[in-house]
Structure formats: C-alpha cells, structure tokens
Structure 1
Amino acid sequence: MSIINLKPQTALQHRPSALTTQINAVWGQGPSSRYESLASLFRPTFEKIKASRSEREEKRILAFEQIQWLKDIGFTRLRLPSSQGGFDATIPELFNLLIELAEADANLPQALRVHFGFVEDLLLSRDPQFKSIWLPRVAQGQIIGSAWSEGGNESIHEFKTRLSKDAEGRTILNGQKFYTTGSLYADWIDVGITDLYGESASILIPRHAEGVEIVDDWNGFGQILTASGTTKFTDVVVNQQDVIGDQQRFKYSAAFYQLIQLAIISGLTRAASYEVSAEVYKRERNYTHANASFVRNDAQILQVVGQIRGVAYTTAAIIGKNAQAIQRAFEAGLNDNEQLEADQNAIAELEVAQSQTIITTLALNASTIIFDALGASATDKNLALDRFWRNIRTLASHNPRIYKDRIVGDFSVNGTLPPYQWRIGKVDESGLLQTDKAS
C-alpha cells in the first residue's frame, strides 16, 4: 500500500513544555486586559505543582506542600481587595485561573472550592464584625475547608451535627460528616449544623481544635487527593461568634460551586490535549494500514487530537460566559435591590445548568477518544491516561446533570425558575426524603 509521508508542522508546537504567551493565546483571549499579567504571577507555581503530580497520585501523597505554595503566592486571596493583600480578581478572572490550576492538578481547585465560596460570603457580608474577624484571617493565607454532608441520615429540617451546652455551660459541637473536601488542608472547617435554637446554620471550627478528627478515607476512583474524607466532632468547644446563619451566605452559591466543578473538568481536558499531543508526536510504532509513516502525520489521528483540543477550548469559552453571569449576580448582591439580586441569581443558575450536560458530555468523550489516537500501549498504568476519564466522571457525578436538564426544560417551557438550593438525602420507609445539605 502507498504510505504518505508528510512533514509535521513546527511553527506552533503545542507540547506540554511549551506554555509560552503564544501557546496560551491559542486558548483565546483572557477575561480581562490585565489577565496575562495576573496569570503570570501564578503560572510558575502551577508548573511546579504539575511536575510532582504523577508521583503524588501514584503514591497517594496528599498535597499539603502544594496547597502551601498556593497560599504563599496569594492564590487563596485572589478575590480579596488589594487593601487586604488580594488581587481584586473578578469572578471571570478567578475561573480562568481555576482552569489553569486544574490543568496542573485537578485535585487542588476542588480542595479549595469551599474556601473560594467563603470568600464570596465575606465580600458580600454587611456584618462589619464578621468582616473584621475573617477578612484578616483570609488575608493572612488561612483557608477554609468543608464539612456539610452527613451521608443522608439526618432529618428533613436539621443536621444531626449540632450545638449543645455541656455541664459547664460551654457551647460544644458533636457529630460526624462525610465528603469533607479540603478539610485536611484547611485552617478552618465550615460545618453545617443545627444551632442551639434548632435552626439550620453553619459554624467555623479551627481545623486543629481538640475533638476534631479528620480521616483520609475517600475511596472514589477519581479526584483521589482532594482529602474528601470523614470528619468527626466530639465535644468540640466552639465560639458562638463563629456561627453563620443560612441567610448570611451568598445567594448564587449553587451556580458558583457547580461552575468550579466544570472549570476543573475543563482544565482536565486541557491537560489531556497536551498529553495526547506529546504522546502522538513522539510515537514511533505504527500500523501497516495507517495513513502516514509517522503517527504525527496521520490525518485521522490528528483529527482525534484536534477534537480533544477543541473540547478544551469550547468548555473554557462556555465557562467564561457562565462566569460573567455569576459576576453580575455578585454585583447585584452589592446593591439593595432584592428583586434584581434574585433575578441575577436565577439567571446565573440557569446559565450554568444549561452548560453542565454539554461540558460533561464533551469532556467525557474527549477523555475516551484519547485512546483512539494511540495504541494499546496507552493503557500502561505508568502513563495514567485513564485518570482523565476517572476524574471527569467523578466530578460529573456530584450534581446529576439529568435533573439540571429538566430544570432548564421546565424553565424553557413553563417559565419555572430553578430552586434556590437543592437538597439530597435518604428516603425513609414512608417514602419521604430525609434531606442532606443544600448544594
């Protein structure tokens, strides 16, 4: 048979080592005119994080050191005002940087997910005492982890993890939480509770307080270094001033937290495009029925690689639009117009919901067709190319996309707005849903 031998294009290499300004431009213009200068402050650390990622995942080495690097360079205070040592980052700038961090290590933005949500609480708070306590803590680099889910066994109106008074009159916390993402890395834990008055609330607990035990028992096949384990609270003495009422939390949290998951997925597809490109470029083994002598010149193989890169580009572009909607919700929250705020929150939730199935479907497919561009040797565990599908599938399983599609359809047909917060829990024998925390 005739083999066509074409010379590879060399004008614009897109291998993982080529993260130049020119290469970054291929992903599209950043969300602001200053984005490149802002991102340049963090990219060297992202590259250092990436260098140790494979070893850490293989040996299950939790990313304490890497989280500290991010704290040291100020990544955790991105959204804070410059007067508080922050960078005045907009929400679109934050999400673009989360995509870049996820490309380096998808575990880290998920571990910091609740921390960035707590910063939104801070920025929108009208409580001067709350801000005076917590703004300096975040400015100093302290981060917040999550402890909300109880596995679905709590009652419909209250958490089993609750505050009470001990014999000495102290306020104490007892309970157990699952999926406490990022808490092992954190300085404080944001805990969903039933307060002393039987109301749903939350409280911030020092990570190393006496009576707090965190176990790294996350057993999922993906996102294995997010420290999403179990946390137990046993007679933890707490400060009442650290209780936060549900009404004090930022109102676009459902859209915000979901978009972080989607940003991580987008970052994973970007990493996949770099890795498959590098593997195709250096691959020497080939088939007799291939289209070219070298795999890197095979038109069908290049088509597969192009599809994967197209997914990385498209998902990031969609997330950029979603982030603009959340930015508008944030700005509405700074005003006193409750109707405007409610409208912008609903729009942000709908925009993200409209994107969820599209992004996850594209990314799951991209993580599968990687193996169409390579041979059976691509399944070698040392390459760990399966991690893209495992991580994307794990992230995509957090919030059922079928329900988001239904919510979008109900709005499209009937004008029904999405629920402010959705809940998850265990169905009891009567068929009633015993709810867990709000999403």
Structure 2
Amino acid sequence: MTHADAQGSALPAEPISTRADAATHLPLPPRPPRRIAGEAEALQSAAELAEAFRAGAAERDRERRLPWDEIERYTASGLGTITIPKAHGGLGASNETLAQVFATICAADPSLGQIPQNHFAIIQNLKDTGTEAQQHRWFADVLAGHRLGNAGPERKSRAARITDVTARLQRDAQGRLRVSGSRFYSTGAIFAHWIPFRALDEEGRGVQVWVRRDAPGVQVIDDWDAFGQRTTASGSVVFEQVPVEAEDVVEVWRHAERPTLSGPVSQLIQAAIDAGIAKGALQDALRFVREKSRPWMDSGVDSASADPHLIQEVGQLQIEVDAAHAVLLETARRLDALAAGPVDAEASAQASVAVAEAKILTTEAALHASEQLFALAGSSATRAAHNLDRHWRNARVHTLHDPVRWKYHLLGNYLLNGVAPRRHQWN
C-alpha cells in the first residue's frame, strides 16, 4: 500500500512517525470499499481486523505512530459504510452491530478504534438533520470510500463552554460564502476526506459546515499530546477563509427543538470504546499471568495461574467486564427499537437514559480492569518493555470524554423526578 502526498504522488508505505510529516500528510484518494452483505459479515470483518491491529498496537502507542495504513485497511474492509441506510444503498446495520464492531476493534487498539467515532456519529446526524439531497450525496460518498472526520469543541482559551461555537460563515466581497475559525478535539479529521463541523451562519444560527480535507485554507495540526489515546490525532483544525458552497451547509438550527437519536448514538459509540478497552486490558492481564507472572512465595502453588486469590479476582473482574458489555448491547437494542418508531421527546429521553447506564458501567469496567491488570500480573508487568500501562492511560483519557458523574445525575434525576435529559451530543 502507498500513501499520497498533497500533489497526489506516491510515497513509500513506511511509518509516518513525526508530527511534521503527519501535519502535512493527506489521506489516499477515496477508493470503493468492499460491500458488506450482512451484519454477521461485518462482525467477522471486525474480528479479523482486530486480530491484525492488535499486533502493532503497543508499538504504535509507544512511538506515537499514526495508523495511516491501518485506517486505509479499515476503510477498504467496508466497515465504514455499514450504517448507511438501505434506502441509500447501504447495509443499514443495527446499533447493536455498530457497538459490537467498536468494542471488538477497541479491544485490540482503542486509539485506532476511536478514530471512526465521528464518521459514524456524523452519519447519524445526517440521517436526523440533512436534506434528502445532502443525504443522497454524502451517503454516496461514504459508499465510495470517503471518510468523515470532525472538528470538535474549541479549547477553553477560545471558548468558555464546550458548546460555544467560534467558527463563523460570512460572505466575501464577491458574495461567496467563506468560513473561518479554529476547533480542537478533532478525532478523525487528519485521516478524513470531508470535515464537517459546527459554525454560526450569517444570522448567528447554528449550522454544520462540510469542507474537504484538502480545501484551500484548511489546516489540520497534529498537536494532540494527551498521555492516552495517543494516536487518535485529536488535535486542532484551523479554517482560514475556506470557500463553502450553500449545499455544503446543514441547517441544524431548523432541528434544534426536534428530538433525535444523534446524541444517544454518539454516546453508544463512546461506551463501546470503553467496553473494548476493558476487554483488552483483561485479555492482556490473563495472558501475562499465564505466561510471565510468578506465584507469591506463600501461595504454595507452582504457577501464578493456580493462585486461589488470583483465580477469584479474575472471576470477579470478568463478571464486571461481561456485565458492562451485556448492558452495552442491551442499550444498543433499545436504541434500535426506539429508532423503529417515531422519535418523540420521551423516546429520545429513554435513549439517553439507557446510554447513560451503559456509559457508567463501561467506564467503571475500563478503569478497574486497566488498574487491576497490575495487581493481578505483579510488579514485572510494570516494565516499560511491555507497555501495559497504555490500557490505563487509554481508559483514563477516553472516559473523561464526558464525565460519568453527570451520567449518574442524569439517570437518577430521570428515575426520581421524571426530568428528561438535555438533548445534545454528550447525552
């Protein structure tokens, strides 16, 4: 496989390890991906990719090497198309399958697995707020191999609240629409062909603007330096007088009061990422105990895997991980049922409440499994050569995406007082 630079010329398929290279690099032009015929095939494809991605996960994290080739392989598999509606030529996969795909790949490499999160969230948002023409156009692009990124909430230095929008649409002297502004937390943008993001239109109303990754005035800056989820490249995007066509603007302000499932589906994906982190941490803990750990001197056994205390702790941890995963899939099925009928205010509220419960459990499972890994495996597991601390670093960083304490509040307030959750992308 080869990469393409900004002029489209071929580059050797070698790791891109420096921030300077990553910042100027563009993804390969879109290529038609494999067409996945059914949901079982999607799950099988996810399992095969996870097996391939697992091998280099620790090294990519250690070197902070962005997964350019792996993302191309993910796209070629067809997984990025699975939630395109059948009416538009897609598989129309269920939320249950979507959650399982994310959990499966994130168990192998949660940084890589998180990168498509906004791709799928935007597809759902387009279902809920896009015009028929916009849906037809951009769903066709996804089916042709386009990736969708995101330019997310701005840093506090430029926006006091996470919901503040700093990008603005304005007309130049010739009357053409242009957008300027900066964004952060832009997971997927560096690998994308389209970058949709929130902005304010000329009248101060909220819109979603779609610009091409290679459009003049678009700069993706690889300045993501968190200690976990290190290769998501969730850094800055700067827009400087980027030309915008009227049909590339989704008027989300028209739907501000209409209940949708955009927030719950986005949150389901976040919960699935955490479920995958929990599973991956537990798998590595079991492997290390079986193959490398020594039994404690007072245990009276010949192998760490025969230690009765470790056996009990492993069983307890497996139950926590399995329970979180089961609630995740139950929640996904609940969203599928709600999506089948009219999505009114109560349906949207029920979806947010169900997802909150899943997010609580997957957060706790990810944090506990990644921490207990070391208690189970012993001091030798802390050696840098094993890089097992990446599980905790990934869990700690990703679970901060939306504070779980507010999920408890959301859930309790609904159950006790009948207060519906606020509708936004974090609920």
Shorter-chain-normalised TM-score: which range?
Answer: 0.7 to 0.9
Moved more, 305-314 or 241-250: 241-250
Using the alignment, how far apart are the partners of 2:62 and 2:89 within structure 1?
36
> CA offsets per residue over residues 124-178 of structure 1, 9 Å max, x none?
5673211221121011111111113122444889622101111222211111111
Using the alignment, how far apart are the partners of 1:161 and 1:69 within structure 2?
33
- What SS does the corresponding residue of 2:101 show, helix, strand or coil? helix
Using the alignment, how far apart are the partners of 1:146 and 1:79 within structure 2?
18
Moved more, 83-92 or 272-281: 83-92
The equivalent residue for 2:134 is: 130
The equivalent residue for 1:112 is: 116
1:206, distance to aligned residue in structure 2 (A): 0.3
- What SS does the corresponding residue of 1:180 show, helix, strand or coil? coil
The equivalent residue for 1:187 is: 193
Are 1:56 and 2:60 matched, yes or no? yes
Q: Which of 369, 387, 391 does residue 384 from structure 1 map onto?
A: 387
- What SS does the corresponding residue of 2:225 show, helix, strand or coil? coil
- The structure-2 alpha-carbon separation of the partners of 1:38 and 1:167, relative to structure 1 and needing over 3 Å to count, comes to closer
8 Å Cα contact 1:74/1:86 also seen in 2: no
1:67, distance to aligned residue in structure 2 (A): 1.0
> CA offsets per residue over residues 350-408 of structure 1, 9 Å max, x none?
11123333332233122111112122111011211111111111111111111221222
Using the alignment, how far apart are the partners of 1:305 and 1:170 within structure 2?
62
8 Å Cα contact 2:275/2:365 also seen in 1: no
- What SS does the corresponding residue of 1:52 show, helix, strand or coil? helix
8 Å Cα contact 1:269/1:311 also seen in 2: no
- The structure-2 alpha-carbon separation of the partners of 1:401 and 1:233, relative to structure 1 and needing over 3 Å to count, comes to same
Q: Which of 100, 117, 140 does residue 144 from structure 2 map onto?
A: 140
The equivalent residue for 2:362 is: 359
Q: Show the 5 A alignment for 1:383-402.
A: 383-402=386-405
> CA offsets per residue over residues 40-94 of structure 1, 9 Å max, x none?
2332222112222122111111111111111101010011245756333111111
Using the alignment, how far apart are the partners of 2:300 and 2:235 within structure 1?
49
Residue type of the partner of 2:408?
D
The gaps in structure 1 that reach 5 residues or longer are 1-33, 423-437
Using the alignment, how far apart are the partners of 2:152 and 2:296 within structure 1?
53
Are 1:209 and 2:224 matched, yes or no? no
8 Å Cα contact 2:275/2:321 also seen in 1: yes
Using the alignment, how far apart are the partners of 2:150 and 2:57 within structure 1?
23
> CA offsets per residue over residues 286-330 of structure 1, 9 Å max, x none?
332124111121121122222332232111101001111221332
The equivalent residue for 1:10 is: none
- What SS does the corresponding residue of 2:377 show, helix, strand or coil? coil
The equivalent residue for 1:219 is: 225
Residue type of the partner of 2:71?
I
Using the alignment, how far apart are the partners of 1:92 and 1:70 within structure 2?
19
The gaps in structure 2 that reach 5 residues or longer are 1-37
The equivalent residue for 2:348 is: 345
- The structure-2 alpha-carbon separation of the partners of 1:362 and 1:274, relative to structure 1 and needing over 3 Å to count, comes to closer
Are 1:315 and 2:321 matched, yes or no? no
Moved more, 47-56 or 75-84: 75-84
1:184, distance to aligned residue in structure 2 (A): 0.3
Using the alignment, how far apart are the partners of 1:226 and 1:108 within structure 2?
6
Using the alignment, how far apart are the partners of 1:284 and 1:219 within structure 2?
32
- What SS does the corresponding residue of 1:231 show, helix, strand or coil? strand
The equivalent residue for 2:94 is: 90
Moved more, 231-240 or 350-359: 350-359
8 Å Cα contact 1:177/1:230 also seen in 2: yes
8 Å Cα contact 2:106/2:113 also seen in 1: yes
8 Å Cα contact 1:125/1:131 also seen in 2: no
TM-score after normalising by structure 2: 0.84
1:116, distance to aligned residue in structure 2 (A): 0.4
1:418, distance to aligned residue in structure 2 (A): 0.9
- The structure-2 alpha-carbon separation of the partners of 1:83 and 1:417, relative to structure 1 and needing over 3 Å to count, comes to closer
8 Å Cα contact 2:324/2:362 also seen in 1: yes
The equivalent residue for 2:239 is: 233
Residue type of the partner of 1:269?
A
> CA offsets per residue over residues 177-213 of structure 1, 9 Å max, x none?
1111110011111111011221111111101111111
8 Å Cα contact 2:196/2:208 also seen in 1: yes
Using the alignment, how far apart are the partners of 2:165 and 2:251 within structure 1?
14
- What SS does the corresponding residue of 1:145 show, helix, strand or coil? coil
Using the alignment, how far apart are the partners of 1:203 and 1:144 within structure 2?
12
Residue type of the partner of 2:384?
K
Residue type of the partner of 1:245?
E
Moved more, 368-377 or 122-131: 122-131
The equivalent residue for 2:70 is: 66
Using the alignment, how far apart are the partners of 1:260 and 1:200 within structure 2?
24
Are 1:257 and 2:262 matched, yes or no? no
Q: Report how many residues are paired.
A: 385
> CA offsets per residue over residues 410-434 of structure 1, 9 Å max, x none?
2222111111127xxxxxxxxxxxx
The equivalent residue for 1:292 is: 301
Moved more, 127-136 or 231-240: 127-136
Are 1:331 and 2:343 matched, yes or no? no
Are 1:305 and 2:314 matched, yes or no? yes
- What SS does the corresponding residue of 1:232 show, helix, strand or coil? strand
8 Å Cα contact 1:283/1:296 also seen in 2: no
1:102, distance to aligned residue in structure 2 (A): 0.7
- The structure-2 alpha-carbon separation of the partners of 1:64 and 1:264, relative to structure 1 and needing over 3 Å to count, comes to same
TM-score after normalising by structure 1: 0.82
Moved more, 301-310 or 97-106: 301-310
The structure with the largest alpha-carbon Rg is 1
Are 1:409 and 2:412 matched, yes or no? yes
The equivalent residue for 2:14 is: none
